[in-house]
Structure 1
């Protein structure tokens, strides 16, 4: 009889150890997931703010903000879950599960929004770029935005530099914007003293923007799905 009691005690102790190990694993995983969501969401949101005028319709900024919110709430949920585990508080357990549902909705929303806009990103970007190119030279905000896109992504026009040929800016000036040139700092279209030959970007900005948006959306979807799996398993 004492042998059976001893074996039961050892089994119970082993069960408790395994349970604690599993709890710690999922608890740490939730923290890692939360940090990843905040970092990825912040990077995505900040990038969307930089190119806000040309990527607004893709909703990539909203996706990034939702992921940051989900990560922040997940941090709070992890803390409350640990406190509930230690204190055995039913109220904290209810609050923890309620917050978990809120996080799941945010993550699912981010994933669905990214997936729904995936195939239309190219259309959104091309339409917006066409409008921006037509207004280039008349609006300082448009000038700054297009120059930033072309300079940072090393591109010119929508599909290529020829897209500028039909714009009011090109018809008026007979030249491409300085941001279309790789050596714009050394080459000045408004002077006759050219310290270097012009190097015109041959690729368009639409494909570059679409590639970046798709890559960021893929990361958002991956992080969101991974976080959901960890939360479901932890629950």
Structure 2
């Protein structure tokens, strides 16, 4: 006969895994939204900057699948399936922890490399159509100019996308804005700071989601091991 303890843990774990599976879908959506947000500026993004939301989506997909393993193991009262479920959660938890540590260690290095990539790209603005389109789109969307400011364009003509009046008056006023108004209508914030702010904002979302996943995983491991221990104990008493 099934004990009250086993019955309670079994159904708590089953409900937990249903919520876990649903949260996996939510996490996939959150990762996709973050990826789409930074994807507008992927021309400048290093793989290291695009990797976190992609990793989050992959982990969430695995979590969704693993959650069903936990549900099945709980309903079937299978010791082996529950242990496999707990081990899978532990592996996912370790991977997330490792990725978080690496991201923290290389945070400054990535920032320096990103700034260097932006400066290299800006130097090719006049000679490369892809760079030109990317910079004009970025400066228009983020309302910024240059890497660290308009002075970065010394040696090249200041592009129309550094001028906020372009949105109102079109290309005909671009020359006036850039060459005559002497900065009155120019964006003065560098695109590096704007992009870095956007990346940091998205990073906070990913960190929050990651911490939430980690907490849920720890709870899942505890519940699975508890139920597996109870099943083994009751089978031994029979």
Does the aligned pair in 2 maintain the 1:110–1:220 contact within 8 Å? no
* TM-score (structure 2 length as normaliser): 0.76
| Residue of structure 2 equivalent to 1:182 | 164
**Superposed displacement of residue 184, structure 1:** 2.1
**Superposed displacement of residue 67, structure 1:** 0.6
**Superposed displacement of residue 89, structure 1:** 3.5
Structure 1 residue 27 corresponds to structure 2 residue 17: yes
| Structure 2 unpaired stretches of 5+ | 222-238
Structure 1 residue 56 corresponds to structure 2 residue 56: no
| Residue of structure 1 equivalent to 2:85 | 96
Structure 1 residue 222 corresponds to structure 2 residue 222: no
**Superposed displacement of residue 132, structure 1:** 1.0
Structure 1 residue 210 corresponds to structure 2 residue 200: no
Pairing partner for 2:34 from 36, 44, 69: 44
CA–CA distance in structure 2, aligned partners of residues 28 and 118 of structure 1: 35
| Residue of structure 2 equivalent to 1:5 | none
**Superposed displacement of residue 121, structure 1:** 4.2
Task: Name which of structure 1's ranges 215-224 and 136-145 shifts more when overlaid on structure 2.
Answer: 215-224
**Superposed displacement of residue 113, structure 1:** 3.7
Does the aligned pair in 2 maintain the 1:60–1:114 contact within 8 Å? no
Structure number with higher relative contact order (C-alpha < 8 Å, ≥ 6 residues apart)? 2
CA–CA distance in structure 2, aligned partners of residues 25 and 75 of structure 1: 14
CA–CA distance in structure 2, aligned partners of residues 89 and 64 of structure 1: 34
CA–CA distance in structure 1, aligned partners of residues 105 and 20 of structure 2: 27
Structure 1 residue 111 corresponds to structure 2 residue 124: no
After the TM superposition, list the runs of 4 or more consecutive aligned residues in structure 1 that deviate by more than 4 angstroms: 15-18, 189-194
1:174-212 Cα distance to aligned partner (Å, 9 max, x none)? x31121122324232588899xx8721111111111111
CA–CA distance in structure 2, aligned partners of residues 192 and 51 of structure 1: 26
What is the CA RMSD across the aligned residues, in angstroms? 2.9
**Superposed displacement of residue 41, structure 1:** 1.9
Identify if the C-alpha distance between structure 1 residues 26 and 224 changes in structure 2 by more than 3 Å, giving closer, same or farther.
same
